[in-house]
Every structure is written in structure tokens, then in C-alpha cells.
């Protein structure tokens, strides 16, 4: 399909697109717009900490110049193990504005997972927090690379042959083998060099790699371009109906596509404000009320806990106009029937949702995940023969598969470039389609989801591969066989369950098994 910008393709949403900046689809152009038009706007409010778009641009510019001086250039891969705060945003922008590739690692990563992803992604540099919550990343990195403690910068590690330096944000001290991030240090490279580097960035350049698994099996690193992040952020902003003065709370971590794209890039596309908090219960409600929150997007169990708080009904929710906290919305902003609102479906490979959130769908579309976004093509194929059952062309508002269900394949203007260390032919069909492994049908311009074509478990928003968990369990002494499956859970949708057969004469303890498995699984 041709690369037409979504604003030009989506003729039916011109008013919505007018709220968005008319910029080239890459990070340097976005940051230049931030500096010129939104410098005083808050991009992130995390409890008492506030970051403006101007500060994000300025701080990321200093760090970007330091990176260039350290030898980071276009295509260099830089890892981030950072909380969803200003350090993440500044680092991600600094890396991508010079054409390097930001590789996000889960803050839940164990030493084994850090070692595997650093090696698999061929990281040149790694940024981390010394600690976050109960996680000690100094200890975990040392556990991943024991030889790092006796080495010097630039490293020469057999276990990570491309890794040259580790930076830590914050903390009174950093280990002798690492470097502290210091934005007060004048870079050895001037602003002219930064401008020259930014001038060479193109929308087609790789910008980010998001890892979706990798505890034991081969990790899956999904590569997205500069243009993919910018375009998808804008498309989501239009789909969700956000305004330029939005102050939206979302609890998605930035290392996942749900936090980085569906939350951060979506809201930043408008110059709007992300709200986040480490608080819970009444203290979280205090924060949301004080910040004049306009929309709340969170997991169902979080929403239920907020509504159940005794102080909820006495709060001032007059600024609320969207999101999923229905009890706080004025009557004219609520769906007539919340069960007739589509829940957008997506995946890391498609850079988040590829369907549109739509309130008050027709009754005959109950259960649909919504229409396909503009810029997305879909087709259904038979899971056994591969025969094409139905096609949904870009912009087709009446696509229908005649009651047939098949595996959904997607092509889009924000599709991943590929995966780390995977041949293109292993990922896409010869004509460029990606198989989602979702069983779906088309019904008069709406997509209906019927389940997975494989046995992946969706637990608390994360995809868990049963073979990965089984391979860890089989390494535990006394385990003869293990079978992993999803177990329904009212709070988290599914939890990972395992049926384990002990070896003859062995006695197994469930708590010991959980503790041993946690050493390799997050």
C-alpha cells in the first residue's frame, strides 16, 4: 500500500486532524514543534514531579549531544531499564532524535532476562535506574554480567560483545564500573553537530525496539520506525477523541507498546498532558481530583477499586469528559450501553491498536473490537490451507466475510519494520501481510474477535508463552513434566497455571517452585 499520511487519507475526520501538528513524521520534527509551540505545556505530571515539553526537548538535546560524543550514532542500539517517568522520556527522545535505536526492557526483568536481551539486541549502551520499587538494577546487571564489575569503560564482555557502557540515572553513588547521567556536564559536541545529525533522520529509519518475551525461548524484539511512532500517536489521538488540553491518567508502563505508544505518543501528539501516580486508593483520587483529570484509562481492577473508595462520590469530577472511569463522567459523556463500546485490539507488531474505539455501536455489532483504522488493510485466511476468505481494503466501511472466520492478516502504515535477527520472509508473506494469529470475522465494517489461533496466554495485559514457562519448570529439580495453561481470573483476566508431574520419589512444594521459577521469569 502507498505511504499516504493518515491526515490526507482520513477524509472523514478533518476536524479531528486539525488539532494535530503538521510535521514530518520523525522525532526531530516533533521535538522542534514542542520547542516552538508547546514549551510551557506539561507533558508529564508524576505526583509532585512536573516535566514540560520545553524541558523534555532541552534535556534530551543535552543528553543527545553527550551520546554523540560517546560514539553513539545512527543505528546504535541503546537499552532503557527505566521507570515510566521523566528519565524515560528524556532518554528515549535523546536516543531517537540522533537516529539511534531505543530498546526498551521491562522494569520486571531478571538478571537472566537482561543478559539475554542485551546480547540478543546487540546493545551498545544501557541506561538504567539504580533502583525502582523493590528492584535493584545494579545487582541485576552485575548478575547478568559478572565480569562487568572488574572491567573498565569501554567494556569488552564475551557475554555482551557490543556493550560498551552503562549509565545510571540518579542515586548518590553509582558503581565504579558505570557512569552517572549528568545533564549539567557540557557536552564535547556542540549544537551544530546535533542539528547536523537530526537533519539526516528520515521517517523510515528504525527508532525503537520493543521486546515482548524472552525469558527462555528466543526473545522477540519488534522494530518500529520513526514514522511509525509519530503516525500511530496521531491516529490514536484522533481515534480516542482527545483534545489539546487533555489531562489523561493512564497506568500503562512505557516499556510496553501500551504505555509508549497508546499512552505517551498518543497524548504527546496533541501537546497534552500525561498524568501518573505511584499512589493508590484515596491518595490516588486526591491526585486525580487536584490535577483536574479529563480522562482515566486503567486496568479494570484499578477502576473498580477507585469507584469502591468511600470518598469517590464526594469528589469534584467536573473536568472529566472521556476515558473508562464511567462513574465519574457526566451523563452526556457516558455510553448509553457500555457493553456496546468497542475495545480496540492490537499488538506490539502493529504498534498498538489497529481498530478504532467506538462508543454506542449498533446492537448487531455487540462484542466487536471496532472498525479497522484508516491506513490498515486486513484479510482473513483459512488456518489450514491459507486460502484467502475475505479482504478488507483500506477505507472499506462495509467489509463483510459472510459469516466466515479465519486468521487475521494485517498490512498497515505503522506496521513493524521487522524483528531482531529474523529474516523478513519468516515474518511477512511474500506480498507483505503479517499473520496476527487472531481468529476473526468481518461484519459490515466491524471486526469481530473469536480467540487465538495459538495457545498464547494473555495475563494482566502481557502475552505469556506456555513453552517458555514449561522449559523453566522442567529445569527445577524433581520436576518430570509440566503443562502450562491460562486459568481464568476475575481481576487479571487470566493467570498462568501449571500442572506438574514429580519425578519418582520426589516431593514438590508449590511455593518452592514459584520461587525458583521467579528467578528466570518476570
pLDDT 10s digits, 54-90? 999 999 999 999 999 999 999 999 999 999 999 999 9
Instruction: Evaluate if residue 335 carries a pLDDT over 90.
Output: no
In three-state secondary structure terms, 298 is: coil
457-518 maps to which CATH number?
A: 3.30.300.30
Helix axes 191-198, 53-69, angle to 10 degrees: 100
Residue 341 pLDDT grade (very low, low, confident, very high; cuts 50, 70, 90): confident
What are residue 202's DSSP bridge partners?
A: none
CATH (one of 3.40.50.12780, 3.40.50.150, 3.40.50.300, 3.40.50.620) for 26-31+49-225: 3.40.50.12780
Residue 210 pLDDT grade (very low, low, confident, very high; cuts 50, 70, 90): very high
Q: How far apart are CA 297 and CA 328, in angstroms?
A: 12
| Region class of 477: left (phi > 0), else alpha (psi between -120 and 50), else beta | beta
Which one, of 225, 221, 209, 189, lies nearest residue 73 by Cα? 189
Instruction: Evaluate if residue 91 carries a pLDDT over 80.
Output: yes
Q: What is the pTM of this model?
A: 0.86
pLDDT 10s digits, 477-501? 999 999 888 888 877 778 888 999 9
For residues 312-351, one letter each, b for 16 or more C-beta atoms within 10 angstroms of the residue's C-beta and e for the rest, the string is: beebebeebbbbbbeebbeeeeeeeeeebbbebbbbbbbb
What pLDDT, on a 0 to 100 scale, did the predictor assign at position 216?
47
Q: How far apart are CA 477 and CA 202, in angstroms?
A: 52
- In which residue ranges of the chain is CATH 3.30.300.30 found? 457-518
Contact call for residues 409 and 430 (beta carbons, < 8 A): no
Contact call for residues 62 and 183 (beta carbons, < 8 A): yes
Residues listed for the chain: 522
Element holding 15 (H helix, E strand): helix 14-17
Instruction: Evaluate if residue 132 carries a pLDDT over 70.
Output: yes
Average pLDDT, the chain: 91
| Region class of 18: left (phi > 0), else alpha (psi between -120 and 50), else beta | alpha
For residues 44-69, one letter each, b for 16 or more C-beta atoms within 10 angstroms of the residue's C-beta and e for the rest, the string is: bbbeeeebbbbbbbbbbbbbbbbbbe
Q: How far apart are CA 383 and CA 150, in angstroms?
A: 53
Domain 355-452 is of which CATH architecture?
Roll (2.30)
Question: What value does the mean pLDDT take over residues 425-451?
Answer: 93
Residue 214 pLDDT grade (very low, low, confident, very high; cuts 50, 70, 90): very low
pLDDT 10s digits, 217-251? 678 999 999 999 999 999 999 888 899 999 999 98
- In which residue ranges of the chain is CATH 2.30.38.10 found? 355-452
What pLDDT, on a 0 to 100 scale, did the predictor assign at position 3?
60
Element holding 378 (H helix, E strand): strand 376-381
- In which residue ranges of the chain is CATH 3.40.50.12780 found? 26-31+49-225
What pLDDT, on a 0 to 100 scale, did the predictor assign at position 485?
84
Name the DSSP letter for residue 425. H
What pLDDT, on a 0 to 100 scale, did the predictor assign at position 85?
97
Amino acid at each position: 500500500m502507498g505511504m499516504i499520511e493518515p491526515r490526507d487519507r482520513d477524509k472523514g475526520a478533518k476536524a479531528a486532524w486539525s488539532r494535530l501538528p503538521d510535521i514530518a513524521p520523525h522525532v526531530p520534527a516533533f521535538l522542534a514543534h514542542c520547542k516552538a509551540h508547546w514549551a510551557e505545556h506539561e507533558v508529564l505530571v508524576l505526583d509532585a514531579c512536573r516535566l514540560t515539553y520545553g524541558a523534555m526537548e532541552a534535556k534530551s538535546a543535552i543528553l543527545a549531544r553527550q551520546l554523540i560524543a560517546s560514539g553513539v550514532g545512527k543505528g546504535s542500539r541503546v537499552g532503557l531499564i527505566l521507570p515510566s517517568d521523566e528519565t524515560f522520556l528524556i532518554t528515549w527522545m535523546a536516543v531517537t532524535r540522533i537516529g539511534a535505536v531505543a530498546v526498551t526492557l521491562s522494569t520486571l526483568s531478571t538478571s537472566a532476562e537482561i543478559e539475554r536481551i542485551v546480547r540478543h539486541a546487540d546493545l551498545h549502551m544501557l541506561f538504567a535506574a539504580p533502583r525502582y520499587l523493590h528492584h535493584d538494577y545494579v545487582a541485576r546487571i552485575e548478575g547478568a554480567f559478572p565480569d562487568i564489575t572488574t572491567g573498565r569503560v569501554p567494556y569488552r564482555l564475551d557475554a555482551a560483545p557490543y556493550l560498551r557502557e552503562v549509565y545510571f540515572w540518579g542515586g548518590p553513588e553509582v558503581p565504579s564500573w558505570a557512569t552517572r547521567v549528568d545533564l549539567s556536564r557540557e557536552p564535547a559536541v556542540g549544537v551544530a553537530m546535533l542539528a547536523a545529525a537530526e537533519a539526516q533522520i528520515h521517517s523510515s529509519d528504525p527508532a525503537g525496539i520493543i521486546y515482548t518475551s524472552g525469558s527462555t525461548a528466543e526473545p522477540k524484539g519488534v522494530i518500529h520506525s520513526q514514522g511509525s511512532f509519530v503516525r500511530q500517536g496521531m491516529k490514536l489521538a484522533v481515534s480516542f477523541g482527545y483534545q489539546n488540553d487533555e489531562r489523561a491518567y493512564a497506568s500503562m508502563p512505557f516499556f510496553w507498546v501500551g504505555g509508549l505508544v497508546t499512552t505517551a505518543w498518543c497524548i504527546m501528539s496533541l501537546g497534552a498532558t500525561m498524568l501518573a501516580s505511584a499512589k493508590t486508593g484515596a491518595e490516588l483520587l486526591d491526585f486525580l481530583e487536584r490535577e483536574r483529570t479529563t480522562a482515566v484509562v486503567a486496568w479494570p481492577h484499578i477502576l473498580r477499586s477507585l469507584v469502591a473508595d468511600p470518598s469517590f462520590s464526594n469528589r469534584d469530577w467536573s473536568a472529566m469528559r472521556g476515558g473508562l472511569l464511567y462513574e465519574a463522567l457526566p451523563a452526556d459523556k457516558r455510553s448509553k450501553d457500555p457493553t456496546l463500546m468497542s475495545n480496540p485490539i492490537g499488538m506490539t507488531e502493529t504498534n498498538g491498536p489497529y481498530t478504532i474505539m467506538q462508543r454506542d455501536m449498533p446492537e448487531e455489532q455487540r462484542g466487536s473490537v471496532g472498525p479497522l483504522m484508516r491506513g490498515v488493510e486486513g484479510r482473513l485466511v483459512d488456518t489450514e490451507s491459507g486460502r484467502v476468505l475475505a479482504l478488507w481494503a483500506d477505507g472499506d466501511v462495509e467489509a463483510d466475510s459472510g459469516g466466515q472466520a479465519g486468521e487475521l492478516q494485517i498490512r498497515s502504515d505503522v506496521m513493524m519494520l521487522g524483528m531482531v535477527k529474523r529474516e523478513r520472509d519468516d515474518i511477512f508473506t511474500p506480498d507483505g501481510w503479517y499473520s496476527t494469529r487472531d481468529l476473526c470475522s468481518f461484519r459490515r465494517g466491524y471486526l469481530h474477535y473469536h480467540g487465538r489461533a495459538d495457545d498464547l496466554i494473555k495475563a494482566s495485559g502481557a502475552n505469556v508463552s506456555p513453552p517458555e514457562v514449561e522449559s523453566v519448570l522442567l529445569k527445577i529439580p524433581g520436576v518430570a513434566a509440566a503443562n502450562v495453561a491460562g486459568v481464568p481470573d476475575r481481576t487479571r483476566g487470566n493467570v498462568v497455571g501449571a500442572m506438574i508431574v514429580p519425578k519418582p520419589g520426589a516431593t514438590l512444594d508449590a511455593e518452592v517452585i514459584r520461587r525458583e521459577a521467579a528467578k528466570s521469569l518476570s
